[in-house]
Amino acid sequence: ITLTHFTLTRSLYKCVLNENFEFILLPICYGIVFVIGLILNAFSLFIFTFRMKQWTSSTIYMFNLSISDTLYVISLPLLIYYYAKENNWPFGDVMCRIIRFLFYNNLYCSILFLSCISIHRFLGICFPMQSLEWLNVRCARICSVLIWIIVVSCQAPIFYFSQTYNNNGNVLCYDTTPPGLFPQFLVYSSIISVMLFCLPILTVIVCYCLMDQAKKSIRMIVIVLLVFILCYLPFHITRTIYYIFRQLNVECNMLEASDIAYKVTRPLASANSCLDPILYFLSRQNFRKEQHVLDKQSTTLRIKRFFDEASVL
């Protein structure tokens, strides 16, 4: 039986949980994500860098998704080794903090970039003329820079919360924080979940509903919504329940059930690194059609402005 990290320090928690399952589950799942994610994202970056002739707003967002995913998947071998060695971290405290930061940075960068793709699609279909001046590469680049700044700033506290702990020669790398800091971490994590998950998923749902009412093509937003439901929603629900149960010090069987559910959904959150490139390849033809439509709308708008100015003269 393996003691969870919060039973190892100061005896603040009453439960001893069996976490042996994660030493098999997580290395296997992370190994699959690493191989598939590295291949797909490397290929995507190659296409973006050497084969992309014309960039659109959507490809700007997808390019940034690929960068974020690649940074995360190249960190997975360290986590694979850590869990395969049954929570023994040999890479130092600084690397522990970096690895935990990269996970959350990728998670919320992906969520925000996918939300931007959905909003872009919604505006392009439902408000083509009004939003034409906003749906350009320059605005997409500005939005991308802002997303990186927001996510990195919001995730910077991870460098404070995530730490290593030496338990009789077995070095743990906290995926949360030491017990003494957990109340503060719970508040921080809750705020981040509302800001960077709840609000974006509500935005995507609203875009989906409005486009459905308009009886327009909604394939892109449906794909994004599925990624949210499959990868992000289970993770955030189970993590929230586990954190609350841990803070409330509930009965051990309830805490263990929530712990198992949380650990099982963590690979799902990582799987977005494999699904994001697939999302791009599935929708590439859709991007081309969208750009063709926007080009026609741009031409129509210029013609309309020309005749409006001529009528004034």
Q: What is the pLDDT along the chain (313 residues), one digit of tens a residue?
A: 344 444 444 334 567 777 789 999 999 999 999 999 999 999 999 999 998 888 888 899 999 999 999 999 999 999 999 999 999 999 999 999 999 999 999 999 999 999 999 998 888 888 887 777 778 899 999 999 999 999 999 999 999 999 999 988 889 999 999 989 999 999 999 999 999 999 999 999 998 888 865 555 677 788 888 899 999 999 999 999 999 999 998 999 999 999 999 999 999 999 999 998 888 877 665 555 544 554 555 555 444 444 444 444 4
* Beta bridge pairs of residue 166: 171
d(CA 38, CA 34): 6
Angle at 248 between CA 153 and CA 198, to 5 degrees: 40
d(CA 15, CA 5): 11
Q: What is the pLDDT of residue 249?
A: 87
d(CA 211, CA 206): 8
Residue 99: exposure state from Cβ atoms within 10 A (0-12, 13-18, ≥19): buried
Is residue 117 within 8 Å of residue 109, measured between CB atoms?
no
Q: What is the pLDDT of residue 169?
A: 84
Domains of the chain: 20-297 (1.20.1070.10)
Q: What is the pLDDT of residue 126?
A: 84
* Beta bridge pairs of residue 240: none
The closest of 232, 287, 278, 224 to 106, measured between CA atoms, is 232
